[in-house]
Amino acid sequence: MPPALMTPLSELVLGQQFPAGALYIVATPIGNVADITVRALHVLGLVDRVAVEDTRNTSQLLSRYGISKPTIAVHEHNERSAAENVIAHLRNGERIAYVSDAGTPGISDPGAKLVDAVREAGFPVVPLPGASALTTALSVAGAWVHTFSFIGFLATKPKQRDTQLQSLLTHTPALVFYEAPHRIVETVQALERAFGGERQLLIARELTKLHENIHRCTLAEGLTWLSGDANRQRGEFVLAVEGAPQKEAADNAHDALLMTLLEELSVSSAARLAATLTGASRNALYTRALAMDRRAANKARTIRNEAGKRAGQ
């Protein structure tokens, strides 16, 4: 058993079930080796072999924890064919863990096709949560990223990248990208061209590592910050960009609902219920309902007056 498991914490996993003939998707640190979980260490020590994105990287990682296991290379270029090898071992009742070079497999890393193949072959797939550059960056972004869409790496060719960004122009959730150091300046420039300079930008660089940087600014200020120190352009990046501002609903967007409610409720009650149902501003709905109620009253008064005139003729 690895030395890291010789602690009372290891007892927390002993009561759990780790079935044979299963694939375990194991998250590994994105930089700081101390970010491995107790459960991940237990499973990596328990499995019969480890499927890995890069045998050299993972062998070094496992050796840090005192773990030595046979490995199977499963990377983006052989994922489908290597899956058959993994499935063959699962048929023999083995437990197999899959780890990518860093972070959570399948999130802009190999692993998703392996999961599909194993599940289609009828074997269970068990996730072991842990480090992820995506969630690490967003946890310190702030409230402006309360909803988001994960885009991952943009297209490498400029024309395809710009087309991709144009399709996201009116997207209201925040947008989250991964980027490599040799493209970071070009990508930030492309983001500003596509979205303008006013949107918020979070640059998270070398997360959990010794030279970690987390900087928030506008898109217009992003290039200046990157250019202020050559070291800021090194390492792996997560970029979060503020989404497009939500368009204000038209004044009459909820008229049909208000009209129905006003048949049974007062203006105040109709506005309150409409706000609950739609999430729109209660004050705006009250103003609209009041105007509609006055128009209805004026219309009813006009009809009565005209009816009185006809009756008097």
pLDDT digits (tens, 9 = 90+) for 210-238: 999 999 999 999 999 999 999 999 999 99
Q: 312 by DSSP, 3-state: which?
A: helix
Mean of the pLDDT values across residues 79-87?
Answer: 94
Tokens of 225: 């910050």
Class of domain 3-131: alpha beta
pLDDT at 100: 95
Q: Is the pLDDT of residue 308 over 70?
A: no
This prediction's pTM: 0.75
Choose the weakest-confidence range: 3-17, 28-42, 101-115, 127-141.
3-17
Instruction: Taking the CA atoms of 44, 46, 52 and 57 in sequence, report the sign of the dihedral they define.
Output: positive
Please say whether the beta carbons of 175 and 137 come within 8 A. no
Q: Is the separation of the CB atoms in 226 and 185 below 8 Å?
A: yes
Is 112 a residue whose pLDDT tops 80? yes
Confidence of residue 42 (pLDDT cuts 50, 70, 90): very high
Lowest mean pLDDT: which of 77-86, 203-212, 246-255? 246-255
CATH no. of 135-241: 3.30.950.10
Contact 207, 133 (CB under 8 A): yes
pLDDT at 38 over 80: yes
Q: Which of 90-99, 121-130, 247-256, 281-290 has the lowest mean pLDDT?
A: 247-256
Check whether 5 has a pLDDT greater than 60.
Answer: no
pLDDT at 1 over 60: no
